Structure 1
Amino acid sequence: MSEKHAEVGGAGLVGLSTALLLRRAGWSVTVHEEADAVREIGAGISLHQGACSVFEHLGLMDRILAAGVDLDASQALSHTGEVLADRALAGAYRQLAIRRQVLIKMLADEADAQGVEVLTNSRVTGATADGVLLLAGGKSRNADLVVGADGFHSAVRESVGLTDKKVQRSNGATRLLIDYDKASGRTVLEEWWGPATRMGIIPIGGGQTYVYMSSRESDRRATQVPIDPDYWGGLFPAVDKEIFQLLSQVQDARHDRYPYVKPKAWSKGRVAIVGDALNAVPPSLGLGATLGLRNARLMVDALGVHDSVPDALRAWEATARPDTEWIQRWSLFRERLSHNLPAPLARVRSKLLQRSNGFRGWGNRGRNFDEQLITGARR
């Protein structure tokens, strides 16, 4: 039987990982990247055990561990420094932190080593349901499977009519890297909660710290780049003032509104969507990358079971969509909890964070968010 071929639009985290998963399953794969080189926009990333299970499957975990930080604990703190939750990170609750660009380069190098073709300066403009990837300049590529991993504004998703909802939310975040490392003993992910703002401070190794600062988009002082150290220092008086001074000096900081995507369907014919094209979600649970990687692996697993690509894609959606939408609902709820509560309810929110151990593990079906996304646990 001849080797099946896939064309993937987008060489980001999920696009490259999908290509590696398909290659490992015996497919030939070509990945298209619009930029002139494979690079990641962003600062750091936290990988939950669901993501780690995918990278273990791909044989990449030793390299990721060598380049990042295996976090010991996660804390939720009030803006005045009160510890609301302190959760050990191990097993199903494991989290790693790493620079995004380091991870992307690792994936790109592995793709090259495994014989995945990556074409740069190749802009995807759409697809057709019979398995044709459309490119700028009137070019096209035929495939047994076309995968749109081309992000929130996915041309693949739009071209085959899969979009139901595509929303830029009224809240967003600025993400930055700084040279700061004052860890003593445990490596801890700190999440600081203000009345309508939130900060994450995460050691990522090599003497660097990844910081995200989220707020309402209507708060212009909170969203400005470079950041206003006096404003943020006033919002979080218990955070080391040196952090805000260092953050204010970062010239390439990036601020983005939170995205949300709900597709009508996950595929059409021989075309599927993955990553932010499929399940973009406010990162209030920090599970966007894990969700994208988990869904990509389940898609490739389904392709290995069904002879027909369209049948496999429909079976994949039936299996993976309920949990995806469950995570998205809770992410939207936690986003509102972070930024859209009336001020008098902030004290109630603190109690919720204490009772739910940092808001990890409450769900309408009584399952833990992190544990549910470990694909290996289903076998």
Structure 2
Amino acid sequence: MSAVSRVGIVGAGFAGTAAAILLADGGVEVDLFDAKPEVSALGSGITIQGNACRILDQLGVWEQVQENSYPFDVLGLRAPDPQGSVIAVIPDAKMGGENYPATIGMYRPDLAAILVERAEKAGVRLHWGAKVDDLLQDTSGVDLQWSEGGARRSERFDLVIGADGLHSAVRELIGIDARPQQNGMGIWRAFVPRPAEVTHTDLVYGGPCYIAGYCPTGPDRMYAYLVEEAQERTALSPEEQLATMRELAASYHGPWDEVRESLGPDARINYTWFTQHLVEGAWNRGRVVVIGDAAHSCPPTIAQGAAMSLEDAVVLAELLLAADSLDDAVWAEFSDRRLPRLREVVNASSQLADWLIAHNRDADVPGLMRRVATIVSQPA
């Protein structure tokens, strides 16, 4: 018997939809709330490591993901020289095991749509345009109050899961004061045609940016990114954003010459700052718990953000479906299984970013990457 029979989940991102799917498949009645009017059609690409691929298979969407992504098993390093010379092509760790590629690239909105569709098929009730206003709980349940379509509504749940992202309303409502902190880096992303020679991620360290990279997402598309010192870029017009990214990309060559020429109004250019945070101690307050980006974030320097969010959902759903009651033992085991692993990943991601900011050429990057790979290769 499950510890819960009815669950409300706030946030239809990767953590929220994954938790909804697993709980609904386990016989739990699930309502999923999101402030957006529909599943997002905007965004660029995402790099997904093997441990996340393993979970996507567990969620029953691996076949669709394979059809809409680009797999590869190596990582390339290029020089910031006029030729974009290849320095090395390194076999990448298969953190999901031999049945999955080391890495896949994918268009982020495609993955979001696949997960939402799977949640609907599992029987999850979706509420789009639903803004959570308050959470009132006692020892037996939680009254979730939200606004939808101009009306105020309320429903009672055994548990509410806050998977509503970096600026989580649920986290604030339950009094967890951890907040994402900027780490000094900003990233430009663009969605562009894939040059034929790009068959895996290549990274360039040096030049005007900390990192210049790209990741193929399909037969003819990829996303390209430039990581720079964080700056206030919100006032730039789309034309100014395009000009800025082209200017930064001018120092990189090889496939970047083709990428730079392909940057245009349809490249979906966006700019964000890297953040990092981790909620230490319990992620719940009574019968409300936060997971995913609401509980932790890190610079995407080792591409584990989505994987960690999916892992949160897997572990939480497993514990809820196996327990007879929602007691302190459930929350203690959840913390024991998530916090040590998240500390390693967040600290390693932040350490690598700090080394880049400091231009530390003596840093043991291979050792750091091996340590993280060893940890996350084991199922959560």
Which TM-score bucket, shorter chain as reference?
0.7 to 0.9
Distance 2:318 2:34 in 1: 25
Matching of residues 330-369 of structure 1 within 5 Å: 330-338=348-356, 340-342=357-359, 345=360, 347-348=361-362, 352-353=364-365, 356=366, 360-361=369-370, 367=371, 369=372
Gap regions ≥5 residues in structure 1? 362-366
Post-superposition shift, 1:40? 5.2
Distance 1:263 1:129, change over 3 A: farther
Post-superposition shift, 1:262? 2.3
Distance 1:151 1:21 in 2: 19
Which SS does the other structure have where 1:91 is aligned?
coil
Distance 1:126 1:282 in 2: 31
Post-superposition shift, 1:135? 1.5
Deviation beyond 6 Å, 4+ runs, structure 1:
none
CA contact (8 A) 1:74 1:88 kept: yes
Distance 1:142 1:308, change over 3 A: same
Q: Say yes or no: does 1:86 pair with 2:95.
A: no
The equivalent position to 1:149 in structure 2, one of 159, 163, 167, is: 163
CA contact (8 A) 2:203 2:214 kept: yes
Distance 2:21 2:200 in 1: 31
Deviations 1:264-299 (A, max 9, x none): 431111111111101111111111000111121111
Q: Say yes or no: does 1:30 pair with 2:47.
A: no
Equivalent residue number for residue 325 of structure 1: 343
Paired positions, count: 359
Distance 1:77 1:127, change over 3 A: farther
Q: Say yes or no: does 1:12 pair with 2:13.
A: yes
Distance 1:126 1:200, change over 3 A: farther
Deviations 1:236-257 (A, max 9, x none): 2445312112225446311111
Q: Say yes or no: does 1:133 pair with 2:150.
A: no
Which SS does the other structure have where 2:36 is aligned?
coil
State which drifts further: 192-201 or 54-63.
192-201
Q: Say yes or no: does 1:215 pair with 2:228.
A: yes
CA contact (8 A) 2:11 2:164 kept: yes
Gap regions ≥5 residues in structure 2? 97-101
Equivalent residue number for residue 201 of structure 2: 189
The equivalent position to 1:231 in structure 2, one of 242, 247, 266, is: 247
Distance 1:54 1:214 in 2: 28
CA contact (8 A) 2:73 2:94 kept: no
Q: Say yes or no: does 1:118 pair with 2:126.
A: yes
Which SS does the other structure have where 1:92 is aligned?
coil
Q: Say yes or no: does 1:247 pair with 2:247.
A: no
Equivalent residue number for residue 22 of structure 2: 21
Distance 2:41 2:162 in 1: 17
State which drifts further: 32-41 or 212-221.
212-221
Which SS does the other structure have where 2:346 is aligned?
helix
Equivalent residue number for residue 364 of structure 1: none
Distance 1:40 1:335, change over 3 A: farther
Matching of residues 36-51 of structure 1 within 5 Å: 36-39=37-40, 41-51=42-52
Matching of residues 65-76 of structure 1 within 5 Å: 65-76=66-77
For 1:309, give the aligned amino acid: L
Distance 1:10 1:230, change over 3 A: closer
Distance 1:334 1:86 in 2: 20
Deviations 1:8-45 (A, max 9, x none): 11111221111112112221111011121111542111
Which SS does the other structure have where 1:176 is aligned?
strand
Which SS does the other structure have where 2:268 is aligned?
coil
The equivalent position to 1:95 in structure 2, one of 76, 97, 103, is: 103
RMSD (CA atoms): 2.6
